[in-house]
Structure 1
Amino acid sequence: MRAARKAMAMRQSLLRWTLLVILSAVLAVGLDWLHLPAAFLLGPMIAAIMVAVSFGPVHLPGLAFNWAQGVVGCLIARAITPSLLAEIGRDWPIFASGVLAVVLLSMVIGWLLTRWQVLPGSTAIWGTLPGAAAAMVIMAGDFGCDVGLVAFVQYVRVIIVSVLSAVVAAVFVPAAPAGGLSAHIAFLPSDWLGFGETVGFIVVASFLAVRLRIPAGPLMFVMVIGALLQNLHVLRIALPQILLIPGYCVLGWGIGMRFRRETLRQAMHALPSILVSTLFLLLACGGLAVVLVELTGMDPLTAYLATSPGGASTVAIIASASHLNVAYVMAMQVARAWFLMLTGPLIARTLSRWAGYPLGHGRSGSG
């Protein structure tokens, strides 16, 4: 009898995995074909939500999820270059003001959504922090929030921001093409030695981060140490699609599998408020871009993309295709993401206390 139950459980698990892989492939390729941002993360995440809500979750090994966090950590670390730091240093007062203004706007919106109990506990605060959506979701989970709801809020904003950025770029620079991951990153490594170094570094650093019990460790530890080693010319970070796509897929599965029916109901109930708050944030950031144009004389599209609250990968593609000041755009985007990754827990804890909730209150069936 026990053997029969075990065999049935294995068959059900195999069927769920089969359905998950097929759905993930179809959705990811479809979203990438439509040039939507982070298609190979969002597609698997949506597929995992559908499977988890309809048939129950699929067990994902913790080591695989940690490795996927390490891939994202390396992706962020690779963007931290001396030229980017020099770009920050040249106009640091204006630059810092632009970064902090977007953060403060998002903090006000997150606090209001929390105060009005649109989402449980500090979920709205983590969901509205505008930097490195995958990182915010991972960190929120480590600090006790409902990962499914945080992911929902983050990626609704990322998609809206990315689509609107592409539309604005098309208006200002009609020749600027949109593009997905597949159009801009090689599938196989061009630097096999660097690829081997990157994989080895991710495995070792992710393992050490878990052993050291660092919050969001595989992401934060890999990001900080990777950026340091890269700029000391000790590590060459090579991230072809053959590494990025599986990493994004596993990360999407890990996030999506934490959804439950109750999570989905809460998300859909809060959707109108999330959309209104996102549009308000976009309008406010557009106002900041106007101020930036007046103070620095830069072109409006560069200022708009630099202050855009999220969708950094799509923003980078649009900026490079439009022949803009890519370094400035990415410097502000990456600086904001780093600032939020380093201060996110403090911000969430402080705003939660002001709103009358302890940090992490409101986990609803996320496991």
Structure 2
Amino acid sequence: MPPPPLASGIGRWPPVLQWAALLVLSLGLSALLELSGLPAALLMGPMVAAAIVGINGGTIRLPRPLYLCAQALIGMMVAGAIDGGIVSTFLDNWPLFLGIVFSVIAMSTLSGFTLSRLNILPGTTAIWGTSAGAASAMVVMADAFGADTRLVAFMQYLRVLCVAAAASIVAHLWVDGDAATPAIVWFGAIDTVAFAKTLAVAAVGAVAGRLLRIPAGIFLVPFIAGTVLSTTGHLAIELPEWLLALGYAMLGWNIGLGFTRPILAHARRALLPILLSIAFLMGFCGCLAYLLTRFAGIDALTAYLATSPGGMDSIAIIAASSNVDVSFVMALQTARLLMIMAFGPALARFVAHKAGGRERRP
């Protein structure tokens, strides 16, 4: 294992000062984005702040347990925003859902095949890096199938950053200018029993997702369990705003701090083709959103968020803070993730073989 690179820039600072700088920058950017009315400002501010710190040599990293806690909290938050129609939404629209899901998978596979065929990236790295699923799940599965996890993580989180930024801007532009934005009550009264039950479901769901080795299970299991319990009336999900803001910040920090100089140098040769593939996939998903709006009667913002190519947790935050059909958005996002997990390994092997790449067996 090569020795760690010498610290530079912010990396020369003591960790406590790096965290302090990240916190101050996150608060400042979040406040600016919040004042501008941008949805998910509490996610985007810390994400951009962390990227600035990481690119300038920051060496701090969010402890893994905190990141997993943030995912579980966000899963419960989304569950609380969903009504009992998520299953019926899928059943009523399953031909449409499957058509959209397979279209996105086919287009992301074509993008990965092209990157591999042009010898820009190896086959398995290209397919996992362009797969439009949950970023963390794709990195885990890529490692099991012999891909370059540094490049896969860079491609996935760069797409998450681009998609989240675009989705936030689109959601902001779609808001009725005359609609009043409700004030956030940071420390309002809470139901302590419901709060304790919510945390218990989140904790048990996260542990179950971890033990069952379900990709993105830390988010998915609490999300599914919370949705079932909430929609059946067995749980009133209670999460105070300050705790949700902390969860958003930790998710943003985890994504942003992954953008470091060594990773950017490692991906430098492929950076432009990667950006073009992201823009191509986002444009294709935007066309699918237009078709949903034109022929299925889905409102434009709901269609755009539902078809946005990842990450599911950040799209969930934006959807929950916007006036959209959250059940439709999450049903389509979840369906796509499950399909990619089911067909991803076979597609990775197929693309690597057809493009002439090699892969390491797990």
Normalising by structure 1, report the TM-score: 0.73
Residues 208/277 of structure 1: CA separation in 2 closer, same or farther (3 Å cut)? closer
**Deviations 1:285-342 (CA, angstroms, capped at 9, x unpaired):** 454355445644x277368536642545545655x3xxxxx44xx4442122212332
Contact 1:102 1:309 in 2 (8 A): no
Query: Deviation of residue 85 (structure 1)?
Result: 2.6
1:336 aligns to 2:332 (yes or no):
yes
Of the three residues 346, 350, 358, the one matched with 2:346 is: 350
| 1:306 to 1:314, Cα distance in 2 relative to 1, 3 A | closer
Kindly tell me: are residues 83 and 284 of structure 1, through their superposed partners in 2, closer, same or farther at Cα, counting changes over 3 Å?
same
Percent identity among equivalent residues?
29
Q: Please name the residue that 1:62 is paired with.
A: 64
Counterpart of 2:5 in structure 1 is none
Report the RMSD for the aligned CA atoms in angstroms: 3.8
Corresponding residue number in structure 2 for 1:261? 261
Q: 1:234 aligns to what?
A: 234
Structure 2 CA distance for partners of 1:291 and 1:69, relative to 1, 3 Å: closer
Corresponding residue of 2:196: 196
Q: Which runs of 5+ in 2 are unaligned?
A: 1-10, 144-148, 310-314
Q: Give the direction of change, closer, same or farther, for the CA distance of 1:165–1:101 in structure 2 (3 Å limit).
A: farther
In structure 1, the partner of 2:20 is: 18
CA distance in 2, matches of 1:157, 1:69: 18
Change (3 A) 1:72 1:287: same
- The CA distance in 2 between the partners of 1:255 and 1:223, in whole Å, is 20
Q: For structure 1, which runs of at least 5 residues remain unmatched after alignment?
A: 1-8, 321-325, 362-367
Partner in structure 1 of residue 45 of structure 2? 43
Return the TM-score normalized by structure 2: 0.74
Q: What does residue 284 of structure 1 align with?
A: 284
Cα displacement string for residues 2-29 of structure 1 (whole angstroms, at most 9, x for unaligned residues): xxxxxxx998122222122112222222
2-structure distance, mates of 1:270, 1:178: 44
Farther-moved stretch of structure 1 (31-40 vs 265-274): 265-274
SS at match of 2:233: coil
Asked whether the equivalents of residues 72 and 219 of structure 1 are also in contact (C-alpha less than 8 Å), the reply is: yes
The secondary structure found in structure 2 opposite 1:239 is: coil
SS class of match (2:56): helix
Alignment of 1:25-174 (within 5 A): 25-116=27-118, 118=120, 122=124, 125-126=127-128, 128-130=130-132, 136-143=134-141, 144=143, 145-146=149-150, 147-164=153-170, 166-167=172-173, 169=174
Cα 1:217/1:159, change in 2 over 3 Å: same
User: What is the alpha-carbon distance in structure 1 between the residues aligned to residue 236 and residue 82 of structure 2?
Assistant: 13
Moved more, 16-25 or 81-90: 81-90
SS at match of 2:30: helix
Rounded Cα–Cα distance in structure 2 between residues aligned with 1:355 and 1:273: 18
